[in-house]
Amino acid sequence: MRHRGLETDGIAPYLFLAPLLVLLVLFILYPVTMNLLASFTEWKGYGPQKWIGLSNYEKMFQDQAFWTSLLNTGIFVLYIPIGTAFTLFVAALMRESIAGWKTYRAILYIPNLLGYVIMGVIFSIYLRDDGILNALIRWVTGAPVHFLIDPVLAVNSIGLILVVWLHLGFGIIYFLAAMNGIEKSIYEAAIIDGANFWKTFTNVTVPSIRFAVEFFVVFNFIEVFARMFSFIYTLTQGGPGYSTFTLEYGIFAQGFQKFQAGYASAWSMVLFVFCAVISTVQIRLMQRRDA
Amino acid sequence: MKKSSVFGPGAQITVQALMVVLVLASLLPLYNVVSSSFKSIDEFTVNPLWPPQKVVPDNYQYAAFSASLLQFTVNSIVYVPAAVVFYLAVCISAGYAFGKMRFALRLPLFLLVLFLSIFPQLLLATQVFKLISGLGLTNTGLGAVLSWVAYFAPFGTYIMTTYFAEMPYELVEAARIDGAGPLRILTKIMAPLAKPMTATIAIIGFQAMWNELPFSLLILQTQELRTLTVGIAMMRGEFGLRVPILSAALVIAMVVPLGIFLLFQRYITLGVTAGAVKG
């Protein structure tokens, strides 16, 4: 991106941008703005809207499902450092060109390929009380683990699978590419100095790819706050009860299952604030990296 | 890329063991689906774990025809590539404007696009549905395609922008001296040079739209119009108790994503690293 004097390309750039901008205004900007208005109304999602002031927000703050959604999101966030550290560790092992690493990398990428809907349904079968994982567990302990029936286990299963497990393949490719950019001589010097794997991992590898690590963390925040719906919809459908709700799932449940779109819009505004913060952090990171 | 390993023989065995555990943990849920898909309901009840003793194709027949998965696959194969073509046009043209053209609002508009690129679909869904109904596009492929392209274009635009920005400006200047206009410069010179990155965002866009659920779920409500992804998500509720049929459906749904992976692995790797972050 460069500026050559004050000369501009006139109207042409705006014409080139027009298709994108029209779509963005219609499908993102306008919806976000209308959500704000809708959050002050009683509305089914169709038909008339009735202005009710802050009632939706008052109702939301007394709604146990809303607080559960926030708490669950907090639990998922706690899995982010675990997932990031684990992914970095596995990528660093693969960087040592261990035998078969390309095959491992390809297999671990499969979940990223299949997407949240297929993976959600796959895990809904896999984690059932009479599923294959429990067939193995019963073999060892004699009793099944109620992964999707016990509320606490269900939330943590989602956190572990979505945040730590499903992005492993994506993170490995991403980190390996970043690690490729590290000067080989730094490693050689470290090894001559007698540094072992752990020393080079903590002193060379991780500090050298700090930007990549930061972006991976932000990427995970985006997944947790803004991309989880399809997985929860297919794995637990928010249940048992509302114990695996997130803000996204709550919006779906209130807006499209109970037809309380006005109320769902109040939830949307809370989600909007979180996402605006994450988006700003991401832009700051980009500007700092490109500076 | 090889050098002497930092791992001694003992450590190498430990590392290999860890990798094998990870790979097995990754493959076990997939094995489960494939193996269950060939079992009769009766066999599945008594033998959930081991491979089928008697292979039955009935589940596939049921999933493909009675549960309409074949129809849904055809729908996806029609809508998604159409959407990808539209998406590429939008991303290339906007990416070129941001990456290589000079105009007063370049930075503010670019930041706006970046800012809007992460909002969750559910945050937009109520209003997108209202808009699509207002345009009379409920239950049309066009409605779904428009909503997908709008939602996924910001990230594709971002990647194309960074790619165009790194191409030498002299290419544009030389073409301009030859008397070419902006549209001609883009279509005849710059876009052909951006082919590798175009292929990359085509794959990213294809995967994102192929796997898209919320908008399709709301816009394509009639059974005949459903995409494969919507079909699978709905079957999860309908056939929740009949695992072998659901498994057969999953295997059918995995064919296209896995095929894309095998054919275009190089671009997928590029795609992961193209943007600093996934959209």
**Phi then psi for A51, rounded to 5 degrees?**
-65, 125
Mean pLDDT of B140-153: 97
Percent of chain A with pLDDT over 90: 76
Domain limits at A251?
Answer: 56-290
For A54-78, b/e burial (b = at least 16 CB within 10 A) is eebbeebeebebbebbeebbebbee
- A90 to chain B, any CB pair closer than 8 A? The answer is yes
Amino acid identity at B225: L
pLDDT surpasses 50 at A154? yes
> Residue A281 and residue A287: Cα distance in Å, rounded?
10
Residue A50, pLDDT above cutoff 70: yes
- Res B239 pLDDT > 80: no
Residue B8, pLDDT > 90, answer no
Q: Which of B71, B39, B216 is nearest to A117 (CA)?
A: B216
Strands (E), chain B: none
Choose among A113, A272, A282: nearest Cβ to B277.
A282
pLDDT for A7: 74
pLDDT score of B203 more than 90: yes
Predicted local distance difference test score (pLDDT) of residue A163: 96
Q: Which residues of B touch A260 (CB under 8 A)?
A: none
Least confident of B42-46, B136-140, B251-255: B42-46
Indicate whether A13 belongs to any domain.
no
Contact call for B11 and A135, based on CB within 8 A: no
Mean pLDDT along residues B235-249: 83
Instruction: Kindly indicate the confidence band of residue B1, based on its pLDDT and cuts at 50, 70 and 90.
Output: very low
Please give, rounded to a whole number of angstroms, the shortest distance from the CA of A152 to a CA of chain B. 22
pLDDT band at B275 (very low <50, low <70, confident <90, very high): low
Domain contains A36: no
pLDDT at residue A5 in the model: 53
Q: How far apart are CA B52 and CA B191, in angstroms?
A: 52
Chain B stretch 56-115, residues whose beta carbon is closer than 8 A to a beta carbon of chain A: 89-91, 93-94, 96-99, 101-106, 109, 111-115
Tokens of B97: 């404007």
Q: Which residues make Cβ contacts (< 8 Å) with residue A136, sequence separation at least 6?
A: B49
Separation in Å, CA B63 to CA A126, B51, B68, B144: 19, 20, 7, 24
| Residue B52, preceding peptide bond in cis (omega within 30° of 0) | no
ipTM of the complex: 0.92
What percent of chain B has pLDDT above 90? 77
Give the residue-averaged pLDDT of B214-230.
95
**How close does chain A come to B218, measured CA to CA in Å?**
9
Task: Find the mean pLDDT for residues A243-250.
Answer: 96
Least confident of A25-34, A245-254, B6-15, B107-116: B6-15
Q: What is the mean pLDDT of residues B233-238?
A: 86
**In terms of Cα–Cα distance, which of B113, B81, B83 is closest to B97?**
B113
Residue A88 lies in a domain: yes
What residue has token string 């996204």? A248
Q: Compute the average pLDDT of residues A160-171.
A: 95
In the stretch 206-225 of chain B, residues with CB closer than 8 A to chain A read 207, 210-211, 213-214, 218
Q: Which residue of B has its CA nearest to A197?
A: B6
Q: What CATH superfamily is the domain B60-274?
A: MetI-like (1.10.3720.10)
What is the number of CB-based contacts under 8 A between chain A and chain B? 316
Percentage above 70 pLDDT, chain B: 95
CATH number for the domain that contains residue A272? 1.10.3720.10
Give the lowest-confidence range in A12-16, A79-83, A199-203, B216-220: A199-203
The predicted structure's pLDDT at residue A73? 97
pLDDT at B240: 58
Phi, psi of B221 (to 5 degrees): -90, -25
Total domains in chain A come to 1
Is A27 a member of any domain? no
CB contact under 8 A, B6 and A96: yes
Q: Where are the domains of chain B?
A: 9-58, 60-274
Residue B207 contacts residue B143 (beta carbons within 8 Å): no
A48 within domain boundaries: no
- CB nearest B118 (choices: A13, A222, A248): A222
pLDDT at A99: 86
Q: What is the pLDDT of residues A99-152, one digit of tens each?
A: 889 899 999 999 999 999 999 999 999 998 888 899 889 889 989 999 999 999
Q: Is residue A195's pLDDT more than 90? A: no
* Cα gap B118→B100, rounded to integer Å: 24
Q: Cα–Cα distance between A182 and A204 in angstroms, integer?
A: 9
CA dihedral A134, A70, B148, B111 (to 10 degrees): -130
Sign of the CA dihedral B175, B178, B182, B184?
Answer: negative
Shortest distance between the Cα of A33 and any Cα of chain B, in A, equals 9
Which region holds residue B179: left if phi is over 0, alpha if psi is between -120 and 50, else beta? Answer: left
% pLDDT > 70, chain A:
98
- Nearest neighbour of B273 by CB, restricted to A133, A173, A283: A173
**Can you tell me whether residue B255 is helix, strand or coil?**
helix
Tokens of B90: 């939008």
- Interchain CB distance below 8 Å, B113 and A97: no
The count of other CB atoms within 10 Å of the CB of residue B263 is 11
Mean pLDDT of chain B: 91
Decide if pLDDT at B277 tops 50: no
